[in-house]
Structure 1
């Protein structure tokens, strides 16, 4: 199979879980020997030195309807003549309208239950959960052009975090460390996490409980205010957005994922599994599809702070349960979400689409 030349387009202003996946996917595709170029929104956070040796194209992507932005996307595609243009989320997808007589295939990759008016003009659609693919099918998109491919999990070599990380973060050496990554937006459920921490004993199984939160976003001030008002802020480390959260995953004794039901997937789940870390997660749409309760994760009712608090306390109090969940999760990551497996499936899909354009 020859290398497939692709242009990967995203219109986000800043990094979050979806944007980190976009970065990891693009770099992995290039590492496989497929010429990969990046299109990002000009002047924003992704328009920076995040892409190794990949060629980055900065585009205006002002609004989803801006004719100049649409023209610049089409001009770039005409200039590069890639085999595949893969777009992410609404802005990039709506601005990508390819000439009907061209040879480039437009693939819209969906990681959520978006309004589909701006997606129907694509040539094919990838959903990163089975639920999203069902949603696309129910919306009348052709079954033979809808494809399900999960995100991949990294499988890092097991190891400890940097020796001084706990001390640098001000966490006692004997403390439990809960870790929660995610943008500070409503559906990530941070307010329920803080409510759960307020109702959780400060010491569980003889060890103090500390929470590390990775993220940023519009709810930042409200969450800080909530933590202070609840008297738990002194046991929380607000670590900000981390483009590479490796050290924090290694530090964690338990990964806590408190999203509302609206969470379509949640890379945190498979990242916890990849790091062989025990997981407590809400029963969101994504988690309900992939997590096996009490086998590779403890699930609790969405938006139920008491249930979350009880699940955390149960996990911290049961060494055997944590180990069993960590082992089972790692096995799931290796068997079902390994990078090589998922990336090969993408490449095979690209070949299929090019053969049937």
Structure 2
């Protein structure tokens, strides 16, 4: 069964990385997929290798010409499932029921529901998000929970790890913490920078350094905060990484300081899949999937002191780090594997279209 997938973003973020990851996995598993992305977008430029795609301007959510262009493309497609991601693509996609196609809107956050109500079915990547959609008036029988899967790990050796560290002035004996995410308020970077101020500069004779993967509107305020806190020299700003895998592989600890509004948090799955100990805040998604002291060390949101204590405790306790790593690897294979998630999508599409 062919499926058509639309997203209107210009730049990359968590939702866009998921879009490319999901369609790549569908293609590898011999599913017929096509994508529609914004003309000149980061997805179009470099992230859809092996996935057939079209580019449309997708100008604004109110643009009548963009809506006509989307409708024409859908009319010319033989896809039975049209799946949209986020607000722009969903608002521009309108398919009347009974036309042989099903419009599925996938939500990855607690967006305003009105722009999504005209879809025929809805997918949420956490149970909490699905419950929220039903409470917001969407029919429970058409709301489906399918989580994300972890990105396949690209193995790297000790030489690559050491080389990457040397590029940013770190030795193999330094403690390298990595955090990943757009530099926006919900990601909680300001609390992590304050935690770095509170945490020891060295643990067990090893320097503690933080690598921030990401870019966004909060870059300059965060850099000012780091300078004022006296920790600017302990932070490396790596910018947005199209392939963060080498950074995860080089890390000793992954820290994810998001605020409560964070829906799922793909960084949790990425830390587990790369076999790295995880320190995370107890945001919505983490409360649903992470288990404190078993597969992650979980501290309250917006609590710099708790983050600092967690950093020191994990860097001092190698046994604890190893236990978290082993449990995280088990969780990925059991609950967040690519095969299991793709099978859920296959079953959903078959059920929605009445296919055998």
Map of 1:261 onto structure 2: 260
Deviation beyond 6 Å, 4+ runs, structure 1: none
Write the distance in 1 (CA, Å) between the matches of 2:333 and 2:32: 27
Q: Of 137, 141, 152, which aligns to 2:138?
A: 141
Residue pair 1:155, 1:333 contacting (<8 A) in 2 also: no
Map of 1:327 onto structure 2: 326
Map of 2:68 onto structure 1: 71
Shift of 1:43: 2.5
Residue pair 1:82, 1:104 contacting (<8 A) in 2 also: yes
Write the distance in 1 (CA, Å) between the matches of 2:75 and 2:206: 61
Residue pair 1:137, 1:146 contacting (<8 A) in 2 also: yes
Map of 2:4 onto structure 1: 7
Q: Is structure 2 residue 65 aligned with structure 1 residue 98?
A: no
Write the distance in 1 (CA, Å) between the matches of 2:296 and 2:115: 36
Q: Write the deviation string for residues 199-250 of structure 1: whole angstroms up to 9, x where unpaired.
A: 1110012211011110001111111111122121111111111111111111
Write the distance in 2 (CA, Å) between the matches of 1:218 and 1:59: 26
Map of 1:247 onto structure 2: 246
Map of 1:227 onto structure 2: 226
Map of 2:127 onto structure 1: 130
Q: Is structure 2 residue 9 aligned with structure 1 residue 27?
A: no
Query: SS state of the match for residue 110, structure 2?
Result: coil
Map of 1:316 onto structure 2: 315
Write the distance in 1 (CA, Å) between the matches of 2:343 and 2:304: 40
Q: Is structure 2 residue 86 aligned with structure 1 residue 86?
A: no
Map of 2:42 onto structure 1: 45
Write the distance in 2 (CA, Å) between the matches of 1:165 and 1:190: 23
More divergent stretch after superposition (334-343 vs 347-356) = 347-356
Map of 2:147 onto structure 1: 150
Q: Is structure 2 residue 157 aligned with structure 1 residue 160?
A: yes
Shift of 1:41: 1.3
Query: SS state of the match for residue 10, structure 2?
Result: coil
Give TM-score scaled by structure 1 length: 0.96
Query: SS state of the match for residue 151, structure 1?
Result: coil
Shift of 1:49: 3.0
Map of 1:340 onto structure 2: 339
Shift of 1:100: 3.4
Shift of 1:157: 6.6
Write the distance in 2 (CA, Å) between the matches of 1:295 and 1:54: 38
Instruction: Give the aligned length.
Output: 353
Map of 1:186 onto structure 2: 185
Unaligned runs of 5+ in 1: none
Unaligned runs of 5+ in 2: none
Shift of 1:155: 4.6
Query: SS state of the match for residue 28, structure 1?
Result: helix
Write the distance in 2 (CA, Å) between the matches of 1:76 and 1:262: 35
Write the distance in 2 (CA, Å) between the matches of 1:144 and 1:249: 39
Write the distance in 2 (CA, Å) between the matches of 1:127 and 1:292: 21
Map of 1:351 onto structure 2: 350
Give TM-score scaled by structure 2 length: 0.96
Q: Of 106, 111, 114, which aligns to 2:111?
A: 114
Query: SS state of the match for residue 90, structure 2?
Result: helix
Residue pair 2:97, 2:120 contacting (<8 A) in 1 also: no
CA RMSD of aligned residues (A): 1.3
Write the distance in 2 (CA, Å) between the matches of 1:49 and 1:248: 20
Write the distance in 2 (CA, Å) between the matches of 1:50 and 1:159: 21
- Give the alignment of 1:234-313 within 5 angstroms: 234-313=233-312
Write the distance in 2 (CA, Å) between the matches of 1:26 and 1:154: 12
